[in-house]
Every structure is written in structure tokens, then in C-alpha cells.
């Protein structure tokens, strides 16, 4: 993937840092409840490319810098000013994120409300860790609209069909408790330990072999509604790429030598 220069305003609206194989991506517009404007979309689109291109990153965390707020969705003030098109990246879709082609996993750390496009950002992630005060909702139908940034597609894949349709058609929010009961989120924790819990989960992923992570994630994505015969063929091809890699030799060797593996990603 080609790496490009960072948007000049990236640090103002989205903070980005890398440590220990983890990219921490923090929404930073508290005055607008982290609503997505053009600057956020440009920043997230650039960060997605950076995460995929950087071999030192295994996993990314999407979080909020403001306790009790995840993301209120689209910035209606910017839309009212005629800037609605800026919220949708030409390749990555809404927020520069929801339709992005990503080879690495993302975890959303959701505290407080994830509404509309904010929920769709979280649904685009592979995993969600929620605080006990988190709420998830797609209220677009209450305003004569619909969830157009992947919510109507992804929510029925993450919840039982009847519950997903109820949420989409009523626009009512889903509590953290209900989300956990039906597997929409990976876990629910107290708000004051949300970010630490999410980083620990990301760290458990980051310790593993990059090529095995990449191939496992690719196959898991394809498994959603895929044909069994095609999936077995894809699984066999993925297995060959993994078992013939240098990392597949390094893993057992490190185990025998009682040391941490030194992954090459090849």
C-alpha cells in the first residue's frame, strides 16, 4: 500500500500513536461529541493506510479521548454548511473507514453513546469492547433516513436477525447488557478500565505471528455467508502460505528454546 503524507489537521481531530505493535487511534472532538466531519474522515482514511502499511503494527484500537462519549455520528453542522460530501472518502466510505480494505484487525473501545455513523464505525471494526454505560443505536429512521454507512448490512450479521431488524426499524438504542448477551460486543467492563482492557486484548493479538493473523482474519471474513467448498479451498491455500512461512518455523523453535518468538512476518 502506498504511504502518503498525513493531513495537517490530524492531531487536532484524531490522535494516533503506535506502541508495542498496537496503533491507538483516538477520536478527539469533544465539543462535537466526536462527530465525524471532513477532517476526521481524512485523518481516519490516512491512518487506515498507515496501519496496513506499517509492518510493526499488528492491531489497531479505535477509542475516544473523552470519557462517556464515543461518537455521535455525522457532523450535522458540517452537513448543514454544505460539507456533507467531505464526510465520505472516495474509497473508504463514511468517516474514511467503514468501507476501507484492511488486512489487520481493529478493536473499538466504546464508552457512552455510539450513535448512527458512530455505531457504524464500531461495527466496521472486528471487535468491540464496551463500557457498562455504552449504548449503540441507528436512529436514522427517526429522521426519515436509513443507516447508509454499513449499519443495515452489518448489524444483522452481528445480532440475531429479529433483534437487528427491531433496532433498525425502531431506531431505539441497544444497551451494553443486551449487546453482550447476544455477542455484539466481546466484553463489557467498567468505564474506568475500558481503555486498559482493550489495550490488553490488543496486546494478546499483537504477540502472535503477523502472517498467521492476516490469513486467519482474511478467512474469518470470507466465512460470513461463504460457500463451504470455496471456503475449504481458501483455507487450504491460506494454510500453505502459513506453514511454508519463516514464522511457522520460528514459532516451534522459540517454544523449544523457551523464549519469545521473533516474528519476521514472512
pLDDT at 195: 96
The domain spanning residue 79 has which CATH number? 3.90.226.10
Q: Which of 50, 78, 120, 215 is catalytic?
A: 120
**227 lies in some domain:** yes
| CB contact at 8 A, 185 and 128 | yes
Same domain, 179 and 215: no
Q: How confident is the model at residue 2 (pLDDT cuts 50, 70, 90)?
A: low
User: How far, in Å, CA of 35 to CA of 67, rounded?
Assistant: 15
User: How far, in Å, CA of 66 to CA of 8, rounded?
Assistant: 22
pLDDT at 150 exceeding the cut of 80 = yes
Number of structural domains in the chain = 2
Same domain, 231 and 130: no
pLDDT at 197: 97
Please state, in angstroms and as integers, the Cα–Cα distance from residue 4 to each residue in 15, 42, 49, 56, 89, following that order. Answer: 17, 12, 8, 17, 15
pLDDT at 80: 87
pLDDT at 9 exceeding the cut of 70 = no
**21 lies in some domain:** yes
Task: Tell me whether residue 215 is one of the annotated catalytic residues.
Answer: no
Three-state secondary structure of 40-108 = HHHHHHHHHHHHHHCCCCCEEEEEECCCCEEECCECHHHHHCCCHHHHEECCCEECCCCCCCCCCCEEE
Task: Give the residue numbers spanning the domain of 169.
Answer: 10-206
Q: Which of 31, 50, 78, 140 is catalytic?
A: 140
Same domain, 146 and 196: yes
pLDDT at 12: 85
The stretch 224-230 carries a mean pLDDT of 83
Reported as a single tens digit per residue, the pLDDT across 114-139 is: 999 999 999 999 999 999 999 999 99
Lowest mean pLDDT: which of 77-86, 89-98, 161-170? Answer: 77-86
pLDDT at 262 exceeding the cut of 70 = yes
pLDDT at 94: 96
Closest CA to 98 of 40, 142, 156: 40
Task: Tell me whether residue 260 is one of the annotated catalytic residues.
Answer: no
Judged on CB neighbours under 10 Å (0-12, 13-18, 19+), 185 is buried
Same domain, 37 and 95: yes
pLDDT at 8 exceeding the cut of 70 = no
Three-state secondary structure of 115-179 = ECHHHHHHHHCCEEEEECCCEEECHHHHHCCCCCCCHHHHHHHHCCHHHHHHHHHHCCCEEHHHH
Question: Percentage of residues in the chain with pLDDT exceeding 70?
Answer: 96
109: β partners: 129
The stretch 29-46 carries a mean pLDDT of 95
Same domain, 18 and 144: yes
Amino acid at each position: 500500500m502506498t504511504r502518503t503524507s498525513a493531513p495537517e489537521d490530524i492531531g487536532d481531530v484524531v490522535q494516533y500513536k503506535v506502541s508495542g505493535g498496537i496503533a491507538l487511534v483516538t477520536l478527539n472532538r469533544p465539543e462535537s461529541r466526536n462527530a465525524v466531519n471532513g477532517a476526521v474522515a481524512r485523518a481516519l482514511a490516512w491512518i487506515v493506510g498507515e496501519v496496513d502499511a506499517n509492518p510493526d503494527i499488528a492491531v489497531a484500537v479505535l477509542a475516544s479521548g473523552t470519557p462517556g462519549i464515543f461518537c455521535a455520528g455525522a457532523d450535522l453542522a458540517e452537513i448543514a454548511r454544505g460539507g456533507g460530501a467531505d464526510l465520505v472518502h472516495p474509497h473508504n466510505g463514511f468517516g474514511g473507514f467503514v468501507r476501507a480494505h484492511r488486512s489487520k484487525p481493529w478493536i473499538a473501545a466504546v464508552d457512552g453513546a455510539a450513535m448512527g455513523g458512530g455505531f457504524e464505525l464500531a461495527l466496521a471494526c472486528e471487535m468491540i469492547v464496551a463500557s457498562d454505560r455504552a449504548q449503540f443505536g441507528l436512529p436514522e429512521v427517526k429522521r426519515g433516513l436509513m443507516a447508509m454507512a454499513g449499519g443495515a448490512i452489518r448489524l444483522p450479521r452481528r445480532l440475531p436477525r429479529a433483534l437487528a431488524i427491531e433496532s433498525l426499524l425502531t431506531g431505539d438504542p441497544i444497551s451494553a447488557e443486551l449487546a453482550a448477551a447476544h455477542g455484539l460486543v466481546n466484553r463489557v467492563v467498567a468505564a474506568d478500565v475500558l481503555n486498559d482492557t482493550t489495550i490488553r486484548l490488543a496486546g494478546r493479538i499483537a504477540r502472535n505471528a503477523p502472517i498467521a493473523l492476516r490469513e486467519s482474519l482474511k478467512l474469518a471474513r470470507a466465512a460470513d455467508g461463504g460457500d463451504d467448498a470455496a471456503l475449504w479451498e481458501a483455507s487450504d491455500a491460506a494454510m500453505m502460505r502459513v506453514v511454508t512461512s519463516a514464522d511457522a518455523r520460528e514459532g516451534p523453535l522459540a517454544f523449544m528454546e523457551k523464549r519469545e518468538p521473533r516474528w519476521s512476518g514472512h
